[in-house]
Amino acid sequence: MSVKTLQDLLDSGVEGRHVLVRSDLNVPLNDNGEITDPGRINASVGTLKALLDAGAKVIVTAHLGRPKGEPNPKYSLAPVAEALSEALGQYVALAGDVTGEDAHERANGLTEGEILLVENVRFDARETSKDDSEREEFAKELAALAADNGAFVSDGFGVVHRKQASVYDVAKLLPAYAGNLVNDELDKLGAVAKDPEQPYVVVLGGSKVSDKLGVIEALAEKADKLIIGGGMCYTFLAAKGHNVQESLLQEEMIDTCKELLERYESKLVLPVDLLAASEFDSAKAETKLVDLDSIPEGWMSLDVGPETVKKFGEVLASAKTIFWNGPMGVFEQEAFSKGTAGVAQAIIDATRSNGAFSVVGGGDSAASVRLLGLDEDGFSHISTGGGASLELLEGKDLPGVAVLNA
């Protein structure tokens, strides 16, 4: 799919023009409202910097969390504006509303090379409305911020799989372009989706089989091996007859997992040992390495064990293309992070020693790389979009990309 790019916009001239940019600044916050992983903010800098350096008046839209369609101080973009200011090396003003009086006054007052961030677009319920007319109404208000000679740049890859006002509908109202981040994601992930070099190994984690069912079915057809870890592996293990005790389990998906195991028996790779815990909180829990049938009664597994890491690593060592989405365990707690760290390191090793093209599929996987202090340069590409990267590899159309080609 060919879309107009940021370079096309820059070539047409942006000096003095308002440019509305949809970025993905949905970063994780701790209980104190502090950003714990600024990865998406840092990834947005390239496109914004290019526009600012070219003299554009930049207005950024973004969301944070799920505020349920109304203003909520917990989900204010205030900490994001501060972090973005630091990343860009210049002040980023934050409007007190989304498309209200303050946003318009600040947008109108921008001079060349200045940037404004409007408040969380999900403070307005129309952003995510299923009603086309409601979304279109909100999109018109967003487009109005860019004045008469404005343009739109889609640079939030993590949201292009959503048919939302600031992603999809606004692109119909202004000359629309793909930002550098979106363009790069489409290029790198597109190569994996269309023509992966064999052997092709997919590593899937995360909590629910139901969330990844379509991906498992789509990628199992293309991949040589599909490694299953994380919370979703326990439903597969239960389908094989193992007693997973209190581990995360989707009982309604057991029969589906049995069918997948039969259909893709030679491709699916499951854990061989586990790290069991007496409770979820690592500060209080007893832990024990166990084989698949030895989780103590009433305990749960919260990570894969070292033999599993070794087995997964052996599969990854010969790969030429690797796609990883989803941690192997509860990596946020150090006691349950070794499986994720071990598998990630095996991917890095394959990238460096075997020349594999390795893609980290955004979301928790990307966050774990940074939280665990792994070498980001050890991967060929770290995506900013978890759901979007999965849907692209699954072969689905991404509304926020398709509209740029309209």
Residues 97 and 223 in one domain: no
Check whether 314 is labelled as a binding-site residue: no
- Domain ranges, residue 359: 196-374
Last residue of a domain, one of 152, 179, 206: 179
Total structural domains within the chain: 2
Residue 187 belongs to some domain of the structure: no
Say if residues 384 and 155 touch (Cβ distance below 8 Å).
Answer: no
Residues 202 and 321 in one domain: yes
Check whether 26 is labelled as a binding-site residue: yes
Catalytic residues: 40, 208, 363, 387
Residue 264 belongs to some domain of the structure: yes
Cα gap 20→340, rounded to integer Å: 38
Residue 191 belongs to some domain of the structure: no
Return the CATH number at 68: 3.40.50.1260
DSSP 32-69: TS-BS--HHHHHHHHHHHHHHHTT-EEEEE---S--TT
Check whether 154 is labelled as a binding-site residue: no
The CA distances from residue 284 to 110, 187, 290, 331, in Å, are 53, 46, 19, 16
Residues 158 and 216 in one domain: no
Q: Is the pTM of this model over 0.85?
A: yes
What pLDDT sits at residue 181?
A: 97
Residues 253 and 170 in one domain: no
Residue 16 belongs to some domain of the structure: yes
Question: What are residue 225's phi and psi, to 5 degrees?
Answer: -140, 145
Residues 299 and 150 in one domain: no
What pLDDT sits at residue 207?
A: 83
pLDDT tens-place values along the chain, 406 residues long: 578 999 999 999 999 999 999 999 999 999 899 999 898 999 999 999 999 999 999 999 999 999 999 999 999 999 999 999 999 999 999 999 999 999 999 999 999 999 999 999 999 999 999 999 999 999 999 999 998 899 999 999 999 999 999 999 999 999 999 999 999 999 999 999 998 999 999 999 988 888 888 889 999 999 999 999 999 999 999 999 999 999 999 999 999 999 999 999 999 999 999 999 999 998 899 999 999 999 999 999 999 999 999 999 999 999 999 999 999 999 999 999 999 999 999 999 999 999 999 999 978 899 899 999 999 999 999 999 888 999 999 888 999 999 998 6
Q: What angle do CA 329, 216, 319 make, to 5 degrees?
A: 75
Last residue of a domain, one of 148, 179, 210: 179
Residues 102 and 156 in one domain: yes
Alpha-carbon Rg of the chain, whole angstroms? Answer: 22
How far is C-alpha 150 from the chain's CA centre? 29
Check whether 362 is labelled as a binding-site residue: yes
Say if residues 372 and 337 touch (Cβ distance below 8 Å).
Answer: yes
What pLDDT sits at residue 283?
A: 87
Residues 120 and 242 in one domain: no
What pLDDT sits at residue 105?
A: 98
Check whether 122 is labelled as a binding-site residue: yes
Residues 204 and 115 in one domain: no
Check whether 162 is labelled as a binding-site residue: yes
Residues 210 and 148 in one domain: no
Residue 278 belongs to some domain of the structure: yes
Check whether 365 is labelled as a binding-site residue: yes
Residues 212 and 335 in one domain: yes
Last residue of a domain, one of 179, 214, 243: 179
Residues 42 and 161 in one domain: yes
Cα gap 95→257, rounded to integer Å: 48
Q: In 329-385, which ranges are E strands?
A: 357-360, 381-382
Residue 51 belongs to some domain of the structure: yes
Say if residues 362 and 384 touch (Cβ distance below 8 Å).
Answer: yes
Residue 331 belongs to some domain of the structure: yes
What pLDDT sits at residue 307?
A: 98
Cα gap 303→332, rounded to integer Å: 11
Residues 256 and 314 in one domain: yes
